[in-house]
Structure formats: structure tokens, C-alpha cells
């Protein structure tokens, strides 16, 4: 099955803008939507800034950022997503908001459009509950920063169709992602590691074992990673980390 050619991203925050950037870098057309023009412009500005840094580091040639940005259409209108083959929601981690968004999208998109949720803490089955066509809903869980981090969790829900899953994998491959399969279980794969890691970091701070810079630097050196737990929570959002802490409990 051919990979989707036109992609929608709903939510122009850090994650949504990064997903849009990576998708456009891969040569696909993107529609980036948010509730207000100012949110869309802020997302496009973040992409522009990231691309310019890429030029300075020799990752992109002069002129490439304009080409990439030229593939991204900003909008505040659901109807502009009508021609998309696949849409990824990257909105606030609120189950009612995600369900409401998919209900609205189903009024506008074509019948075979894949609807992906970037949720990190809800089961795909829960997000798809109440949808008219739950078979086209799938988990597409990106990691910070989506334009740089190659990892992508692909999570089929209990009603996700084989065609939806196949198109999701084709999309992952087309955008250069290292995709891994996860069952629709609490925390998926990665958060089963990261949530205890974040919890222990906050406990170390709470118990006065060490301060934040020490904990972050120790974690970076010991685990060989580029970002400590507190910096990670800051860039991805403390509310998201707080919400994700419950993913290890059955839902």
C-alpha cells in the first residue's frame, strides 16, 4: 500500500510543530491546524527557527528551509484537512478533547483517512471510544523532538483495521522513522521505562538526595543520554509527565 501523501497535524505546539516539520522535510505536504492564528504562527515560527539552526549546523543548505516551509499550510479550519490521507492529533493530553476532535474530524475527512493519536497516557481504545469509525484510529506516539528523534511507537487499538495499520507503517517509513509496534497497554513501550525514571528523579529531589542540576547531569552521564529527567519534563511539559505517571495503572 502506498504511503499517505498529504498529512494533517492538529496542534501547533512543540510536538505538533515538530511532527509537521519532520513530515515536510520528508517531502510530504502538511496541513498544520490549531484553534487560533497566533498558535499556528507560533508553530510555524518554531519550525523556521529549527530549520535555520539546521542551516547553521550544515544539516540543510541555504534555501532548503523555505522549500520545507512551502510544503506546510497553516490553518484554523477543520475543513482544510478534508484532503488529507492521514491526520495526527497532537493536542493537550485530555481524553474528552481528543475524542471531541476525532468526532469533528470525522465530519470533514474522506472515508479512508487514517486518524492517529499522539497520546502518551491514554489507551488507543479509550481515545477511539464513541468514534463513528474506530477502525481507522491508531496510536502514533512521537518523542521529543519529533523532527530529530527517530523513534515512533505504532499502537493499534482493538478495532484498528489491518489497512489502517499498514498505512501507518508506510507513513512511518516515508518519514524516516524507526517504528516499533506496541500493544495497546498502559504506558505502551517507552513510558514503561520513562515513567519510573521520572518518578525516581522527583523522589531524589523531594528527599533531598541531590538538586536538579546534579540529578540531570548524573542521569546524562550514567545512561549516556542527551537530556536529564527534569529538562525532559520542562521541554515536553510537566502536565504531560504528571498525566503519564498513571499509565502504569490499568485503565
Highest mean pLDDT: which of 80-94, 188-202, 222-236? 80-94
Distance CA 68, CA 91 (A): 23
Residue 245's pLDDT is: 62
Rounded Cα distance between 248 and 208, Å, is 26
Is pLDDT at 37 greater than 70 in this prediction? yes
Residue 102 has pLDDT above 90, yes or no: yes
pLDDT exceeds 60 at position 26: yes
Mean pLDDT over each residue of the chain, to the nearest integer: 93
Which pLDDT does position 251 carry in this prediction?
Answer: 44
Could you tell me where the DSSP H helices lie in the chain?
A: 14-25, 37-56, 64-69, 95-105, 124-128, 162-174, 190-206, 212-223, 229-236, 238-244
Report how far residue 28's alpha carbon sits from residue 164's, in angstroms, rounded to the nearest whole number: 19
Whole-prediction pTM:
0.91
DSSP category for residue 5: S
The Cα–Cα gap between 185 and 163 comes to 21
Residue 250: pLDDT band with limits 50, 70, 90 = very low
- Residue 121, pLDDT > 90, answer no
Is 181 one of the annotated active-site residues of the chain?
no
Q: Which domains does the chain have, with CATH numbers?
A: 6-181 (3.40.50.720), 190-244 (no CATH)
19 contacts 118 by C-beta, under 8 angstroms = yes
DSSP reduced 3-state for 125: helix
Express each pLDDT in 153-186 by its tens digit.
Answer: 999 999 999 999 999 999 999 999 999 999 999 8
Question: Quick one: pLDDT at residue 201?
Answer: 95
Q: From 76, 55, 56, 66, select the one nearest 8 (Cα to Cα).
A: 76
| pLDDT computed for residue 30 by the predictor | 98
Residue 193: band (very low, low, confident or very high) from pLDDT cuts 50, 70, 90: confident
Give the separation between CA 45 and CA 42, rounded to whole angstroms. Answer: 5
Among the listed residues 78, 108, 141, 145, the single catalytic one is 141
Lowest mean pLDDT among 17-21, 128-132, 244-248: 244-248
Task: Answer yes or no: is pLDDT of 239 > 90.
Answer: no
Amino acid at each position: 500500500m502506498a504511503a499517505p501523501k498529504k498529512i494533517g497535524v492538529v496542534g501547533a505546539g512543540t510536538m505538533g510543530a515538530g511532527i509537521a516539520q519532520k513530515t515536510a522535510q520528508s517531502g510530504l505536504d502538511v496541513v498544520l491546524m490549531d484553534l487560533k492564528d497566533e498558535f499556528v504562527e507560533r508553530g510555524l515560527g518554531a519550525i523556521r527557527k529549527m530549520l535555520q539552526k539546521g542551516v547553521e549546523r550544515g544539516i540543510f543548505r541555504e534555501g532548503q528551509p523555505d522549500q520545507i516551509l512551502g510544503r506546510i499550510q497553516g490553518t484554523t479550519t477543520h475543513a482544510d484537512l478534508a484532503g488529507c490521507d492521514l491526520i495526527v492529533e497532537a493536542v493537550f493530553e485530555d481524553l474528552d478533547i481528543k475524542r471531541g476532535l476525532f468526532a469533528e474530524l470525522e465530519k470533514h475527512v474522506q472515508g479512508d483517512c487514517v486518524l492517529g493519536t499522539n497520546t502518551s497516557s491514554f489507551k488507543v481504545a479509550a481515545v477511539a471510544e464513541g468514534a463513528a469509525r474506530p477502525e481507522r484510529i491508531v496510536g502514533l506516539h512521537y518523542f521529543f523532538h519529533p523532527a530529530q528523534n527517530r523513534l515512533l511507537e505504532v499502537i493499534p487499538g482493538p478495532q484498528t483495521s489491518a489497512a489502517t495499520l499498514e498505512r501507518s507503517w508506510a507513513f512511518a517509513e516515508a518519514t524516516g522513522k524507526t517504528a516499533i509496534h506496541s500493544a495497546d497497554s498502559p504506558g505502551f513501550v517507552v513510558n514503561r521505562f520513562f515513567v519510573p525514571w521520572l518518578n525516581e528523579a522527583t523522589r531524589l529531589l523531594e528527599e533531598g538526595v541531590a538538586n536538579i542540576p546534579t540529578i540531570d547531569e548524573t542521569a546524562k552521564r550514567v545512561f549516556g543520554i542527551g537530556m536529564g529527567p527534569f529538562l525532559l519534563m520542562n521541554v515536553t511539559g510537566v502536565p504531560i509527565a504528571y498525566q503519564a505517571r498513571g499509565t502504569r495503572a490499568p485503565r
